[in-house]
Amino acid sequence: MSSRARIAVIGAGGIGAAAHLPAIQALAADVELVAIVDPDEARRTAAGETFGCEALYADATTMFAEIAPDIAVVATPPHLHEPLAIEAMRAGAWVYCEKPLTGSLASADRIAAVEAETGRWCVTVSQFRYSGGSRQVEADLRNGRWGRPLVGIAHTNWYRGPEYWDAPWRGKFATEFGGSTTTQAYHAVDLILWLMGGDWASVSGIAETVSRPIDVEDASVASVRFASGAIGSIVSTVVSHDPETKLQVIAEKANVTLDTLYLPLLDEWSVTTIGEGDAAMRVDGWAADEPEMHVNAHRAQLEDLIACWRAGEKPKLTTLESRATLEFLTALYKSSAEGREIARGEIVDGDPFYEALDASGPARVEARRG
Ligand SMILES: NC(=O)c1ccc[n+]([C@@H]2O[C@H](COP(=O)([O-])OP(=O)(O)OC[C@H]3O[C@@H](n4cnc5c(N)ncnc54)[C@H](O)[C@@H]3O)[C@@H](O)[C@H]2O)c1
């Protein structure tokens, strides 16, 4: 197949306009932007002007009927991901869907069923995995360069002021599903689980709304066990006065550390090892510093997806792969509600947490309002 992939963007708000549309523009040799959908007229008009697209739609159903794109980017509020992803696949498109993929394991299983039914794939945005530094670190950890991972740390301590929750979908279980852990810390959580080898086995957590006037949590802490015997610590907040994303794998021969806020670019990663006198010693030149190592990660993941679409191959991070992160988040919320460690595989059909990421959330809000 030599023609360009025809791609439509559904949702031209914050991340649609800031990351997806520029990524498509940067890949113009491989993709053609064929439509933008957003019920907000001002947003779709502005996006159409900025990114040179005249096919502007207020609803996706009409767009699918008239345009039949090859790939649909879904960058809407989370509660619309499942219906739009399913509609897109049934209309013949592959899907590149923003995180969180959806609001429950039951919903993820419905999306996976439609992948099987249609032969189309729904890929979850996991851009932190696609930064040059992350890819290099993951490859090094898998091939044993730094020895066995022992302790994994992912602390996402961000700040969001009151106006952040003006967007009507934010802060509520029905539309956002979860708070700081699911919305803000998603990338660091997904990345640490992947870097540790993907074998998380159980989690003990506490998720609470400690400050903001919202229903979903604004802070959580969690301890993790991995099947390998490694352990982990995850903190996810939006109430910090010193915003940072700090991610670290302490392995047998080195620490690999990401110190950043939003971008896990190569330069934000470092490797240290114990040197003379037990002092930490930076390892220089640990990564191949090539131009593609610095590429915007939304774009790098899209590039990978397009290559797979063109070759007719299964891409990474289809529904069953990203479901592992969704299951981890669900287990963290269930642990918080039940005050015990939750094992992977424990949440199945019939459990309220199978039907909702934070099934205990609404009752927690009621108790708080008392
Ligand atoms: N990967 C990342 O780094 C990242 C960063 C921010 C947000 N996100 C995720 O992206 C998604 C969107 O977040 P945002 O901050 O851009 O939200 P936003 O509110 O800024 O934008 C969402 C857009 O979707 C539009 N929309 C609503 N209903 C629609 C429909 N039926 N069809 C088409 N468009 C519709 C809205 O009008 C709005 O323009 C969320 O899932 C969020 O968690 C990801």
Task: Please write the tens of the pLDDT for every residue from 208-256.
Answer: 999 999 999 999 999 999 999 999 999 999 999 999 999 999 999 999 9
What is the reported pLDDT for 355? Answer: 98
Taking a C-beta distance cutoff of 8 angstroms, is the pair 55, 34 a contact?
Answer: yes
Q: Which atom of ligand 1 is nearest to the CA of 37?
A: 33
- Write down the pLDDT at residue 291: 79
Nearest residue (by CA) to ligand 1, atom 25, is 11
| Domains parsed from the chain with CATH numbers | 5-127+298-318 (3.40.50.720), 132-290 (3.30.360.10)
Report how far ligand 1's centroid is from the alpha carbon of 172 (Å): 15
Taking residues 106-117, report their average pLDDT.
Answer: 98
Atom of ligand 1 nearest to the CA of 78: 41
Ligand 1: which residues within 6 Å by Cβ?
10-16, 37-40, 43, 60, 75-78, 80, 98-99, 125, 127, 167, 183
Nearest atom, ligand 1, residue 18 CA: 16
* pLDDT score, position 335: 98
Atom of ligand 1 nearest to the CA of 59: 32
Whether 294 shows a pLDDT value over 80: the answer reads no
Tell me the pLDDT band of 264, cut-offs 50, 70 and 90: confident
Between the CA of 131 and the centroid of ligand 1 the distance, in Å, is 22
What is the rounded average pLDDT of the residues 61-68?
A: 98
Indicate the pLDDT class of residue 2, thresholds 50, 70 and 90: low
Alpha carbon distance 198, 201 (integer Å): 9
Please report which confidence band the pLDDT of residue 3 belongs to, taking 50, 70 and 90 as the band edges.
confident
**pLDDT beyond 90 at 263:** no
The answer on pLDDT for 195 being more than 70 is yes
**Above pLDDT 70, what percent of the chain?**
99
Mutation pick for ligand 1 pocket among 61, 63, 96, 98 (CB with most ligand atoms within 8 Å):
98
| Closest atom of ligand 1 to CA, residue 125 | 1
Residue in 198, 163, 215 with CA at minimum distance from that of residue 366: 215
Distance 279 CA to ligand 1 centre (A): 46
pLDDT, mean of residues 79-95: 98
Q: Is it the case that residue 1 has pLDDT exceeding 60?
A: no
Asked whether the beta carbons of 29 and 4 are under 8 A apart, the reply is yes
Alpha helices in 73-172 (DSSP H): 81-90, 105-118, 132-142
How much distance in Å is there from the Cα of 75 to the middle of ligand 1? 5
Mean local confidence (pLDDT), 144-161: 98
Residue-averaged pLDDT of the chain: 96
Pocket test of ligand 1: the residue of 76, 124, 125 to mutate, having most ligand atoms within 8 Å of its CB, is 76
Share of the chain above pLDDT 90, in %: 92
State which of 15, 73, 317 you would mutate to test the pocket of ligand 1, scoring each by most atoms of that ligand within 8 A of its C-beta. 15
User: Which DSSP state fits 315?
Assistant: P
Task: Specify the amino acid at residue 34.
Answer: V
For ligand 1, the distance from its centroid to the CA atom of residue 16, given in whole angstroms, is 7
Per-residue tokens: 98: 């923003």
3-class DSSP state for residue 342?
Answer: strand
Of 292 and 84, the one with more pLDDT: 84
User: Residue 328 and residue 335: Cα distance in Å, rounded?
Assistant: 10
64 CA → ligand 1 middle, Å: 19
Residue 293 has pLDDT above 90, yes or no: no
Question: So what's the pLDDT on residue 211?
Answer: 95
pLDDT of residue 292: 77
pLDDT at 29 over 80: yes
Average pLDDT for residues 294-306, to the nearest whole number? 91
Residue from 38, 59, 73, 130 to probe ligand 1 pocket by mutation (most atoms less than 8 Å from CB): 38
What pLDDT does 289 receive? 81
Per-residue pLDDT, 235: 98
Spacing, Cα 78 to ligand 1 middle (Å): 7
Q: What pLDDT does residue 369 have?
A: 85
